């Protein structure tokens, strides 16, 4: 399981993509993208208040591609409610950010995720040994909170940052490169003679 910081880094990538889709630069868009990448872990909240943090974690809908579709539909309604223009690319971005969380958790250590729910409730997990997993104590609310800031988990967050930062910088650089303009391509076909 990736940490919330790891998911937030993927949300930052989504923010960079959203800017290319015409989103307004600012904290609100960044927070929305980071939120979308972390939404599946909100399934901790009901169990946390029931003093059983793991009770609903990775339940059927929250950690599945079906959940990503539901989130995409709900999030796509927001522009209509705010009387803003809707772009289908934003729906794809919402789906991708949510699905990135599910896929990252699928590649982490642990019991897997119900990837294809509601079609199948089979738990899918692929442990490549690349991403270290968080170690959390689910016995009670207090032990769960204490285990979040353990040395092991802080180390995992550091490893995630080191592993993802080059990828983020590469994607950011690729998104800032502008494709050749039509005028440039038209003029480049003509021979250039300098005297």
109, 132 Cβ separation under 8 angstroms = yes
Predicted confidence at residue 134, as pLDDT, reads 78
Predicted confidence at residue 130, as pLDDT, reads 67
184 — pLDDT class (breaks 50, 70, 90)? very low
The torsion angles phi and psi of 113, rounded to 5 degrees, stand at -135, 150
What distance in Å separates the CA atoms of residue 48 and residue 51, rounded to the nearest whole number? Answer: 5
Predicted confidence at residue 37, as pLDDT, reads 94
Predicted confidence at residue 156, as pLDDT, reads 87
Which among 50-59, 159-168, 182-191 has the top mean pLDDT?
159-168
Predicted confidence at residue 8, as pLDDT, reads 93
Predicted confidence at residue 71, as pLDDT, reads 92
The torsion angles phi and psi of 141, rounded to 5 degrees, stand at -60, -45
The torsion angles phi and psi of 188, rounded to 5 degrees, stand at -75, -15
Q: Quickly count: other Cβ atoms within 10 Å of residue 95's Cβ.
A: 20
176 — pLDDT class (breaks 50, 70, 90)? confident
pLDDT at 27 over 90: no
Which own/partner pairs from 47-56 qualify as long-range (CB within 8 Å, at least 24 positions apart)? 48/141, 48/144, 51/140, 51/141, 52/138, 53/136, 53/138, 53/140, 53/141, 53/144, 54/138
Q: What is the mean pLDDT of residues 6-24?
A: 86
Residue with tokens 């969380």: 101
15, 27 Cβ separation under 8 angstroms = no
pLDDT at 138 over 90: no
pLDDT at 189 over 60: no
Lowest mean pLDDT among 5-14, 136-145, 149-158: 136-145
Two structure tokens written together for 72:
């995409």
Predicted confidence at residue 4, as pLDDT, reads 87
Predicted confidence at residue 185, as pLDDT, reads 42
Go through 9-44 and write b for each residue having 16 or more CB atoms within 10 A of its CB, e for each that does not.
Answer: bbbbbbbbbbbeeebeeeeeebebbbebbbbbbebb
pLDDT at 34 over 90: yes
């Amino acid at each position: 399981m990736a940490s919330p910081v790891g998911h937030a880094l993927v949300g930052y990538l989504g923010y960079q993509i959203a800017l290319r889709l015409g989103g307004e630069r600012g904290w609100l868009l960044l927070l929305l993208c980071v939120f979308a990448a972390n939404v599946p872990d909100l399934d901790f909240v009901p169990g946390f208040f029931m003093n059983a943090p793991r009770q609903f974690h990775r339940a059927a809908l929250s950690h599945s591609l079906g959940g990503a579709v539901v989130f995409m539909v709900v999030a796509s309604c927001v522009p209509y409610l705010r009387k803003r223009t809707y772009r289908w690319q934003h729906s794809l971005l919402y789906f991708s950010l949510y699905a990135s969380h599910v896929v990252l958790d699928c590649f982490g250590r642990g019991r897997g995720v119900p990837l294809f729910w509601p079609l199948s409730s089979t738990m899918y997990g692929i442990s490549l040994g690349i991403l270290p997993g968080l170690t959390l104590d689910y016995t009670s609310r207090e032990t769960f909170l204490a285990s979040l800031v353990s040395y092991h988990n802080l180390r995992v967050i550091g490893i995630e940052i080191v592993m993802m930062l080059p990828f983020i910088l590469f994607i950011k650089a690729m998104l800032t490169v502008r494709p050749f303009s039509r005028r440039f391509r038209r003029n480049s076909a003509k021979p250039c003679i300098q005297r």
